[in-house]
Amino acid sequence: MPHRKLIARLLSVVELSEQDQVRLRDMPHLIKTFRDGDFAARQGDSPVHCAVVMSGFLSRQRIVSDRNQISAFYIPGDVPDLHTLHLSAMDHDLCSEGASTVAFILHSHLRPILMASPGLTNAFWRETLIQGAIYREWVENLGSRAALPRVAHLFCELATRLEMVGLFHNGSFHLPITQQDVANACGLSTVHVNRTIQELRKMGLLEWREQIVSVLRRDKLENVAEFSAEYLHALEAPKPHETMRAAE
């Protein structure tokens, strides 16, 4: 069931006919595993396939002004380079954070499927639009918020997105990244991120040990972060967990 997470992800934001789900399930693909720091795609590539994250995390990053800026994290079910269907050049690296497995689907397989199904075209288009909404949220996060709420917002977003694909359990999730990565994502120094996280701990909002993040007081954390999940455009009706089951 390699496309289980992809289907779960799409079902969490759009309705899909049974037929379209079958189309997705049957897509031919190539599975690769990556180790920490491996690149699933490089800046300048013109990939002939799209990458579907099956397990683990990927980050989108690029060197800007001496810094390694991270502009997105991708979790299971995401298709980080879906845009290469229309914009051939990758303008960033896709880097594996910890170990990950990725299914690659050829553009030449994907295009006919999309041509045949307006429902899937809409689903994937919608998916890229939600990615766009996330980028906008990051712009606001970096442009407007002080360090503490900024870092808190990142945790809120990851928790909510992981919840949507069934990877948030009992207030905890697996986070295979370093404080350095958080710094690169938030536009802060590593030292300051460290102090900020200590502050969040001291406030009793979260724990983060051995790659496990535990959100202790989610409402309080979201309050500090001024987080509102609307921009992720999750469907109301099917609860994240039902969605997962439906896709299994």
Contact residues toward DNA (CB under 7 A) are 146-148, 178-180, 187-192, 194-195, 197-198, 210
Instruction: Name which position in 185, 193, 221, 247 contacts a second copy (CB under 8 A).
Output: 185
Partner that binds at residue 140, options DNA, a second copy, none, CB closer than 5 to 8 Å by kind: a second copy
DSSP annotation of 236? S
User: What is the rounded distance in angstroms from the CA atom of residue 18 to the CA atom of residue 213?
Assistant: 36
User: What SS3 class is residue 43?
Assistant: coil
- 88/214 with CB nearer a second copy: 88
Partner that binds at residue 118, options a second copy, DNA, none, CB closer than 5 to 8 Å by kind: a second copy
User: What is the rounded distance in angstroms from the CA atom of residue 8 to the CA atom of residue 6?
Assistant: 5
* Rounded CA Rg of the chain: 18
* Binding string, residues 78-107; x marks residues near a second copy by CB under 8 A: -----x--xx-x-xx---------------
Name the residue among 8, 98, 86, 82 with its Cα closest to residue 41: 82
Name the residue among 183, 130, 88, 151 with its Cα closest to residue 159: 151
147 contacts a second copy (rule: CB under 8 A): no
- 146/237 with CB nearer a second copy: 146
231 contacts a second copy (rule: CB under 8 A): yes
Q: Are 166 and 243 in contact (CB under 8 A)?
A: yes
191 contacts a second copy (rule: CB under 8 A): no
Q: Are 149 and 221 in contact (CB under 8 A)?
A: no
Instruction: Name which position in 26, 31, 33, 118 contacts a second copy (CB under 8 A).
Output: 118
First to last CA, the chain: 8
The residue with tokens 């921009």 is: 231
Partner that binds at residue 122, options a second copy, DNA, none, CB closer than 5 to 8 Å by kind: a second copy
Interacting residues with a second copy (CB under 8 A): 60, 62, 64-67, 69, 71-72, 83, 86-87, 89, 91-92, 115, 118, 121-122, 125-126, 128-133, 135-136, 138-146, 149, 185-187, 226, 230-231, 233
